[in-house]
Amino acid sequence: MLITLFGISVIIFVLLRIVPGNIVDILFDAAGFVDPADKINLERELGLDQSIVVQYLHWIGGLLHGDLGYSYVSEKPALDEILPRIPITARLAGLALLFSAAIGIPLGVLSALKQGSRLDYVLRAISLSGLSLPSFWLGLLILMASVSMFGTMPIYTPNPQSFGQAIAIYCVPALAVGFRSAALVMRITRSSMLEVLRQDYIRTARAKGASETTINFRHALKNGMLPIITVIGIEAAFLFGGLIVTETVFNIPGIARFLVEAIRWRDYPIVQNLVMFCALIVVLANFTVDMLYAVFDPRIRYND
Amino acid sequence: MSAINYDVELKRAGAHATRGWRKYTFLAGRHVLGTIGLVIMVVFVLAAIFADVIARFDPLQVDSVHALAAPSAKYWLGTDAFGRDVFSRIIHGARISLAVGLGSTALGGSIGVVIGLASGYLSGWVDLIFQRIIDILQALPLLVLALVMTAALGPSLENVIIAIAIPLVPSVARVIRANTLALRELPFVEAANAIGMSDTRIVFRHILPNTLAPLIVLATAQLGSAILTEASLSFLGLGIPEPYPSWGRMLSESAAEYVRTAPWLVIFPGIAISLAVFGTNLFGDALRDILDPRQRG
């Protein structure tokens, strides 16, 4: 786990510095007149005159102390730029995950129980289209629909006037980004349920006289939860990608959109730290999923 | 108990259709959705190849007089802010999206196959190192890694293909490695070794062909992801650069401003992307049902 994070930090650091020319060159190109002395001063100030290894060690050393370096663009500590944006994205991500589970699991169960029926085909078509739609296009379509239906777009404001508005500005983007995850969850729930319903113990339960509801939920769904949890966990980790475009479409000031902005402005300290943050989320999500395995399947126990 | 008409049942099960066109016609009939997906894909490929013939206008030709025109007889899907014909841009965009999609899937697949084979067959420290690399590549979402790579390498067609190919490598490598590990233990490999066949020959002549089935299924799924990722990158302005028409960039240029005034700019490029990916998904699902019925979706 740590090796992975360490590897990512090295890769991202090197990647960003592959292209010759650093931020100082870009700044001065835009400014016009270049005084070599100023350039050297600026480089020394930003620490760019040192070797790449030393720069890397600076960054990592700072990371371990909670010092993320300074943003090239705003010259404020990177932490100050990143921290306020996290709750917004966290709220969006949480809602999106909630939607994907709340929509995906029931529909997947329904699809499995009614396998082969018209409803099943419709649901499968919907889930497949959910995987095919670009999430930013879905966002744009939602904006179009809200304009034509309500005459207004759910624009983000930090202080929502009414509860309805608060719901709109968070739920609508969450739905746009969660639709894809919901489709995936629906598919995996369906296949997992089908797998479990074929098992002998289901037949036994039915022979025992258990009600269909008990069979479907207490026996089938509970035993089929493992792949579903895996997918939800993976989705939690990889939601960031979808959030990047969704936050851009809905103009939400979260860290996903901030990553894109930082890349555009070549604000390398911000980009590095955000990528590390993203990797951390992925690693944590995988870890949580592994732990949840033990909860849901008593046969799996990790040796401590 | 009623008598079973064996001829009818055998025909229904497809016993007569084991080779050639009969086999594929039978499979096509069995998997209607997959056939539809294949047809969609073929349509896009043909559109990409014959773009110059199909598109009525030059996709880059500016016509300011007719900028932002609604769909009409002359401009089938309308025009954008520069007066460029949307239909022509979408047809030519198929070329770009397919080039990037196929290119990155092929590149990522090739690298992944080599890594997976080496990792699975050679084991030892080769395996350990490659495993670490795969773990690292997998620790970031596809879009994030592709975004950082295009940012690092600069926006150009080749760089976008590379940037999307690299994140696709881990999944391929894992699947190939798992299959290689399993196949390596089989008696025929031991026999080949015993008669003195070189490792390279064993790997490419015996092991690789047997790992193709899951690889093809994975590749079709990745093709869809690659097309979506290219669209997202272009939408963010960090993908395919200016002269090439990209569906994703067509959507970003239209974005929130034209949602009210020129909805055709938002609807049609999006339909193009969704349809292309939908086709690959349908086809991929059917392929998976045919090649590996144990995995259900």
Residues B180-228 pLDDT 10s? 888 888 888 888 889 988 888 888 888 888 888 889 989 999 999 999 9
pLDDT of residue A22: 65
Q: A205: pLDDT confidence band, cut at 50, 70 and 90?
A: confident
Check pLDDT > 70 for residue A26.
no
What is the chain B residue with the closest CA to A250?
B256
Is B2's pLDDT higher than 50? yes
- Nearest C-alpha in B relative to A133: B274
Q: What is the pLDDT of residues B15-52, one digit of tens each?
A: 887 888 888 888 888 888 889 999 999 999 999 998 88
Residues of B in contact with A136 (CB under 8 A): 231-232, 235, 251
Give A223-236 pLDDT, tens digit per residue.
888 888 888 888 88
A303, pLDDT greater than 60: no
In DSSP terms, B79 is beta-bridged to: B85
Residue A54 pLDDT more than 80?
no
User: In this predicted structure, what is the pLDDT of residue A10?
Assistant: 85
Find, in chain B, the residue whose alpha carbon is nearest to that of A124.
B297
Contact between residue A134 and residue B274 where contact means Cβ atoms under 8 Å apart? yes
What would the two tokens of residue B27 be?
A: 């499979």
Span A16-23, average pLDDT: 69
* Contact assessment for residue A143 and residue A153, using Cβ atoms and an 8 Å cutoff: yes
d(CA A186, CA A181) in angstroms, rounded, equals: 8
More confident residue, A265 or B99: B99
Average pLDDT over residues A103-129: 89
Sequence-ordered alpha helix ranges (H) in chain A: 2-16, 23-31, 36-46, 52-65, 78-82, 86-113, 118-132, 135-150, 163-197, 200-208, 212-213, 222-223, 225-250, 255-264, 268-296
| CA Rg value for chain B | 23
Contact B270 A141 (CB under 8 A): yes
pLDDT value at position A304? 43
CB A225 within 8 Å of CB A292: no
Q: Please tell me which residue of chain A has the smallest CA distance to B135.
A: A4
Alpha-carbon distances, residue B246 vs A38, A196, A260, A287, B233 (angstroms): 41, 44, 19, 38, 10
Tokens of A90: 């966290």
- B36 in contact with chain A, both atoms CB, cutoff 8 A: no
Confidence of residue A32 (pLDDT cuts 50, 70, 90): low
Mean pLDDT, rounded, for B258-278: 87
**Residue type at position B118:** A
Q: Please give the average per-residue pLDDT across A165-173, as a whole number.
A: 81
Higher pLDDT, B104 or A263: B104
- Return the pLDDT at A47: 67
CB B177 within 8 A of CB B116: yes
Which of A135, A136, A181 to probe by mutation at the B interface, max B CB count within 10 Å? Answer: A136
In percent, how much of chain A has pLDDT > 70? 88
- Angle at which helix A86-113 crosses helix A118-132, to 10 degrees, equals 150
Share of chain B above pLDDT 90, in %: 29
Interchain proximity A264–B296, CB inside 8 Å: no
pLDDT digits (tens, 9 = 90+) for B145-185: 998 888 888 888 899 999 999 999 999 999 999 888 888 88
B274–A245 C-beta distance less than 8 A: no
pTM for this prediction: 0.88
Q: Which residue has the higher pLDDT, B7 or A29?
A: B7
Q: Which residues pair with residue A70 across a beta bridge?
A: A77
- Quick: pLDDT tens for B223-264: 999 999 999 999 988 888 887 888 988 888 666 677 777 888
pLDDT at B291 over 70: yes
Report the chain B residue with the minimal C-alpha distance to residue A5: B136
Give the number of other Cβ atoms within 10 Å of residue A303's Cβ: 3
**pLDDT score at B296:** 44
Q: Which residues of B are less than 8 Å from A8 in CB distance?
A: 136, 139-140
DSSP, collapsed to helix, strand or coil, labels residue B139 as coil
- What are the tokens at B145? 């890694």
Count of CB atoms situated within 10 Å of the CB of B3:
5
Find the range with the poorest average confidence among A27-36, A208-217, B30-39, B169-178: A27-36
Spell out which residues of chain A touch residue B154, defining contact as CB-CB under 8 Å.
19
Identify the pLDDT of residue B63: 77
Pairwise CB contact (< 8 Å): B143 & A134: no
Q: Residue A20's pLDDT band (boundaries 50, 70, 90)?
A: low
Residue A57 has pLDDT above 50, yes or no: yes
For B270, which of A134, A190, A242 is closest by C-beta distance? A134
Mean per-residue pLDDT, A149-169: 73
C-alpha to C-alpha distances, A232 to B72, B114, B160, B224, B277, nearest whole angstrom: 45, 30, 29, 20, 22
Q: For all residues of chain A together, what is the average pLDDT?
A: 82
